[in-house]
A and B are shown apart, each in its own frame.
Chain A
Amino acid sequence: MSRNIFVVTVPQLGVNDQVATIVDWYVRDEDAVSSGDPLCTLETTKAVFDVEADASGYVVCLASVGSEVEISQPIALIGSVLEDLRAEKEGFERRSTEESNVRSTSLSESVKATRKARATAQRLGVDLKEISVHGIIREQDVVQYVGESKSTEQQLDLSWQSSRQPVVIYGAGRGAITLKECLDFDGSYQVVCFVDDDPQHPAELCNLPVYHSSQLKEIVGRGVRSLACEIAGGSVRLRILRQCKDMGVRMITVIHPQAYVAPTVQIGKGNYIKAGAIVETNTVIGNCCIIDNGAVIAHDNTIADGCHIAPGVAMGSTIHVGELSIIGIGASIATGIWIGKGAIISVGSSVVKNVPDFAVVEGVPGRIVGRRRSEVKISREVGNL
C-alpha cells in the first residue's frame, strides 16, 4: 500500500473454510509491534490460528473481536508513521461503509422475477416493481397485472337488435373476423363486440369495438350472455370456457351453414365448425374444438376437448383423438386409430399406427419424431378438465 504501510490479511487456513472469526486481539490500536509478534487469534471450523506481524512499527486494527472476516480481507495495518496509519484506517472504514450501502440498496431494488416474466414485462411495457406477488413474479402475474390496470379504461358502447342474442367474441385477430362472418349468417345471433388479452389490441374490428378481456365481466353485466371464440390454442379456449362457466355465460358452438354436421352427432360447448367441414354420423366432439375448412371426419369418431382439426384433414371412422391434440393441414388418419392427448400430427402426414400422448408425428407413413414441448402445461390443463 502507500507510504510504507503493510496490510495484514486473513490467511487461507484450511480447505474447509472461506471465513474466520476474530477471537481476540493481542495488541491495541497504535501499539508498537515487532516482526513476529502475534497480533490476533483467528478461528475457523477446524482450527485456531495466530496471525503474526510481518513488519515492525505501529499497528492499527481494522476488524473487531467476534467479527467474521473473509480470506484475504485486510484486518490490520502496520506502519512507521502514526498520522499515515490513522489516515489509511479512516480510508478503509469509509470504503467499507460505502460498499455495504451499495449492497443494501441494490438488494432492495432487485425484483425477483422469472425469465419469462421479465421478457413479457418488457414486451408489454410493465415495471416489475409495481407488481406485488406472494413469491417470485411469473409471466401470468404480469399478464394479470396488465389486465387489472387496464380495467378502468374504456366506456362500453354496446347495442343490438332485441330479436337477436348478443354475442361477444373472445380474441380480436384474423380468426375472429371469420367467426363474425359465420355468426352473421345466423339471424338469431348478433356480434356486439370483441375482447382481447393483449393491452395493445386494436380499438376496432369489423366496425365493432374491441375491449380488453378484463372488461368481460362488465360486458356480461350489460346483458351479453353468449360468447364465441376461435383462438388458436386449445388450452386458451378451455380456460375461456371455465371463465364462462364461472360467469354464467354460454360459450356457444358455432357451425357454418356450409358445414355438414350429421343429425346424430353430439357436440359440446364452444366449438367452431367451419365452412366445408363434414362431420358424419354418431361422431362425438367435446368442448372447444376447431374443425377447420374442408376437414372430413367420418362416422363414429371421438374428438376430445380442445383439439384442432386443421383444413383438409381426412379422417376415417372409429378414430379417437385425445385432448388438446392438433391434426395438421391435410393429414390423413386411418380407420380405428387411437391418438393420445396433446399429440401433434404434422402437415400432410399419414397416421397408420396409434399415437401416444404428447407425440409429434411426421411423414408418410407417419413416424414419431419428437415430444411436444408444452407437455407440462397440457397435463395441467387436462388435470383441470
Chain B
Amino acid sequence: MRYVESLNQALHQVMAADDRVFVLGEDILDPYGGAFKVTKGLSSIYPDRVLATPISEPSITGFATGMAMRGLLPILEIMFGDFITLCTDQIINSATKFSWMYNEQVKVPLVIRTPMGGRRGYGPTHSQTLETLFLSVPGLTIIAPSHFHDPGNLLRKAVLSERGPVLFVENKLLYPKRLSQPDQSGRIGDFFAEKLFGHNKDYPSISLSLVKGERADVTLVAYGGMAPLAAEAAFNVFMQHEIVVKIIVPSLVKPFPLKDVLPSAQESGRVVIAEEAVRTAGWGAEMASQICESAFDNLSKPIERVGAMEVPIPSSRPLEKTVLPQVSDIEKAIYRQVGV
C-alpha cells in the first residue's frame, strides 16, 4: 500500500467511526479530492462533514479551533506545509493555550495535516520543512510518519485520541511511496527492524540495523522524509566499510523522543541527526542538547547534525540538490564520526 493510500483509508475509517469527525481544507472536494489526493472520496460519502474552505489559512485554522472547542473532531488540511506560517497565531495563541487558559473547561482536539518537504522543484515557498518553527510551543504535539510506519494508523490515533492540538506532518515525496513494513522475520529488506515504545506507546519509533544484536558504531536519527535517505546512507557505509549504523526513525517529533534514542546513543557513543530543515535552532539541535544532558560521558565525539543550507530552497533541480541534505552528506557525517 502507498503512504497516501494509507492516509486516505484512515480518513475514511475515522469518518465512519465517529460523527464528530470533520475534514476541512482547500480544494478537497471530489472529483479533485485534494491537491495530493489524500482526501479523495470523502466528500462523496460524507457531504455534510467535508468542508471546502476559502483560501485563508488564518480563518480556517480559527474556525477549526472553534469547532474543536465546541465538541467536534476537525481534521484541517493545510495544502502546503509552507503555509503553516499563516496559521501561527491561531496555533500558538489560541489552539494550544485555551485548555490551560480556561482551566480545562474546554479541550481543543484539533488535528492539522500538512505536507512538508522539497526535492520536487516546487520552489522556495512550497518546499520547506517548517514544523521546526513550532518545537517550543507548549501543548502542541507534532507527528511525522515515515514510510516505515503505518501513517494511517498514526493519523487515526491522533484524531480519535482527542488529545489535540496535533500537527500531523506528511511528506510530499513519501506520498506515492510504498510503505515498508517488517515481514514475518522482522526484517524490512536487508534491515532488521524493531518497534520502540519507550517514548510513547501510540507513536513508536522504528529502529533499523543491517546487523542483528551487535553494538552499532554510529546512531543515526532521522524522521519523516529523511528516513529513506538515512536507510540508503546506512546501507552504503556498511557495504563500503562494514560500519554498523543503527537508524532510529521516530514518528513523534514533539515531545522529543529522547527515550527511544538514548539507549543506542549510549551504546555507540557516536550520533548523527539528519533533518531536512536547517540545523540552526532545529530539531537536531534540541535532540543533541538533550542527549548530551543524559549521555555526555558515553559520547566519543560531538553529535553531528546534517541539514539544509540556510538559504531559500531553489526551484532549479540541481541547485535544490545542493541546498537540501543528500545521502552523501549523511555518509560523510558518519565517516567523520568514525574516523574513516
Specify which chain B residues have a CB less than 8 angstroms from the CB of A379 in the assembled complex.
269, 300
By the criterion CB–CB under 8 Å, are A135 and B240 in contact? Answer: no
Query: Is B31's beta carbon under 8 Å from chain A?
Result: yes
Assembled-state Cα–Cα distance A15/B121 (Å)? 9
By the criterion CB–CB under 8 Å, are A376 and B338 in contact? Answer: yes
Of the four ranges (under 10, 10 to 19, 20 to 34, 35 or more), the interface on chain A belongs to 20 to 34
Assembled-state Cα–Cα distance A379/B338 (Å)? 10
With A114-B240, A115-B239 in contact, is A136–B339 under 8 Å at CB? no
Query: Is A380's beta carbon under 8 Å from chain B?
Result: yes
By the criterion CB–CB under 8 Å, are B238 and A114 in contact? Answer: yes
Q: Which of A282-334 contact B (CB under 8 A)?
A: none
Identity of the chain B residue whose Cβ is nearest the Cβ of A117 in the assembled complex: B242
Specify which chain B residues have a CB less than 8 angstroms from the CB of A139 in the assembled complex.
242
Assembled-state Cα–Cα distance A373/B269 (Å)? 17
Query: Is A16's beta carbon under 8 Å from chain B?
Result: yes
Assembled-state Cα–Cα distance A45/B33 (Å)? 11
Query: Is B243's beta carbon under 8 Å from chain A?
Result: yes
Q: Hey, what's the 0/1 contact readout for A58-80 against B, CB within 8 Å counting as 1?
A: 00000000000000000000000
Q: Hey, what's the 0/1 contact readout for A118-156 against B, CB within 8 Å counting as 1?
A: 000000000000000011101100000000000000000
Specify which chain B residues have a CB less than 8 angstroms from the CB of A16 in the assembled complex.
120, 172, 175-176
Q: For chains A and B in complex, what number of residue pairs have CB atoms within 8 angstroms?
A: 60
Q: Hey, what's the 0/1 contact readout for A27-69 against B, CB within 8 Å counting as 1?
A: 0000000000000000011101000000000000000000000
Segment at the A interface, from B77-85, B147-155, B209-217, B289-297? B209-217
With A16-B172, A45-B176, A114-B239 in contact, is A383–B215 under 8 Å at CB? yes
Query: Is A367's beta carbon under 8 Å from chain B?
Result: no
Query: Is B46's beta carbon under 8 Å from chain A?
Result: no
Specify which chain B residues have a CB less than 8 angstroms from the CB of A380 in the assembled complex.
215, 217
With A15-B120, A17-B176, A376-B217 in contact, is A135–B339 under 8 Å at CB? no
By the criterion CB–CB under 8 Å, are A372 and B212 in contact? Answer: no
By the criterion CB–CB under 8 Å, are A45 and B37 in contact? Answer: yes
State how many angstroms separate the Cβ of B94 from the closest Cβ of chain A: 33
By the criterion CB–CB under 8 Å, are B190 and A136 in contact? Answer: yes
By the criterion CB–CB under 8 Å, are A116 and B212 in contact? Answer: no
By the criterion CB–CB under 8 Å, are A375 and B338 in contact? Answer: yes
By the criterion CB–CB under 8 Å, are A135 and B192 in contact? Answer: yes
By the criterion CB–CB under 8 Å, are B176 and A138 in contact? Answer: no
With A16-B175, A115-B239, A116-B242 in contact, is A373–B190 under 8 Å at CB? no
Q: Hey, what's the 0/1 contact readout for A353-385 against B, CB within 8 Å counting as 1?
A: 000001000000000000111011001100100
Specify which chain A residues have a CB less than 8 angstroms from the CB of B212 in the assembled complex.
134-135
Tell me which of A46, A112, A138, A383 contacts B242 (CB under 8 A): A138
Tell me which of B2, B35, B339 contacts A375 (CB under 8 A): B339
Q: Which of B161-199 contact A (CB under 8 A)?
A: 172, 175-176, 190, 192
With A46-B37, A379-B300 in contact, is A135–B210 under 8 Å at CB? yes
Main secondary structure of the interface of A (DSSP, over half): loop
Assembled-state Cα–Cα distance A15/B126 (Å)? 14
With A46-B36, A135-B192, A139-B242 in contact, is A373–B4 under 8 Å at CB? no
Query: Is B311's beta carbon under 8 Å from chain A?
Result: no
Assembled-state Cα–Cα distance A373/B238 (Å)? 16
Tell me which of A45, A46, A114, A383 contacts B2 (CB under 8 A): A45
Q: Which of A90-118 contact B (CB under 8 A)?
A: 112, 114-116
Specify which chain A residues have a CB less than 8 angstroms from the CB of B17 in the assembled complex.
none
Query: Is B340's beta carbon under 8 Å from chain A?
Result: yes
State how many angstroms separate the Cβ of A358 from the closest Cβ of chain B: 7
Specify which chain A residues have a CB less than 8 angstroms from the CB of B217 in the assembled complex.
376, 380
With A114-B242, A116-B242, A136-B238 in contact, is A373–B36 under 8 Å at CB? no
Assembled-state Cα–Cα distance A371/B269 (Å)? 18
By the criterion CB–CB under 8 Å, are A135 and B242 in contact? Answer: no
Specify which chain A residues have a CB less than 8 angstroms from the CB of B240 in the assembled complex.
114-115
State how many angstroms separate the Cβ of B337 from the closest Cβ of chain A: 9
Assembled-state Cα–Cα distance A15/B2 (Å)? 17
With A45-B175, A45-B176, A380-B215 in contact, is A135–B36 under 8 Å at CB? no
What are some 9 contacts across the A-B interface (CB < 8 A)?
A16-B176, A19-B176, A114-B238, A114-B242, A116-B242, A135-B190, A371-B339, A373-B340, A380-B217
B interface residues (Cβ-Cβ under 8 A, vs A): 2, 4, 31, 35-37, 120-121, 172, 175-176, 190, 192, 210-212, 215, 217, 238-243, 269, 300, 338-340
- 12 additional A-B pairs beyond A16-B175, A114-B242, A135-B212, beta carbons within 8 Å, are A15-B121, A19-B176, A45-B36, A46-B35, A115-B240, A135-B211, A136-B210, A136-B238, A373-B339, A376-B243, A376-B339, A376-B340
